[in-house]
Amino acid sequence: MEIPWQTLDDETLDRLLSEMVTRDGTDYGARELTTAEKVKGARRSLESGRARLLWNVELESASLVSSEQIREEESAYKRDAEAVGIGVADDNEQVAD
């Protein structure tokens, strides 16, 4: 489920992004970034549309996912659905053929 990040107040969004960027606890980049720098980068990704904020109901956890990855997964889902004869509506709801 997508979280409409634009509806979150700045403090809530920053806290959510901070939790996500510090979740793994290890930085493998060319240089270590501060949490504030990581949050700014995550926010820029949301604002530019390069990433989307998703909520996993089963895990009760939010994640920042690249828009490209989401498109790839949606395409794979549609291919698989077509392969087994299930029609897929534009809003990703299954429909009978």
Q: Summarize pLDDT for 2-36 with one digit per residue, the tens.
A: 999 999 999 999 999 999 998 876 566 678 888 99
CATH number, domain with residue 59: 1.10.10.610
Please, which contacts does 23-30 make with residues 24 or more away whose CB atoms are closer than 8 Å?
Answer: none
- What average pLDDT does the segment 36-46 reach? 94
What domain range includes position 19?
5-95
Q: What is the pTM of this model?
A: 0.69
Give pLDDT, residue 13.
Answer: 96
The token pair at 44 is 């820029």
pLDDT of residue 26: 59
Terminal-residue alpha carbon distance, the chain: 25
The count of structural domains within the chain is 1
Q: What is the pLDDT of residue 96?
A: 47
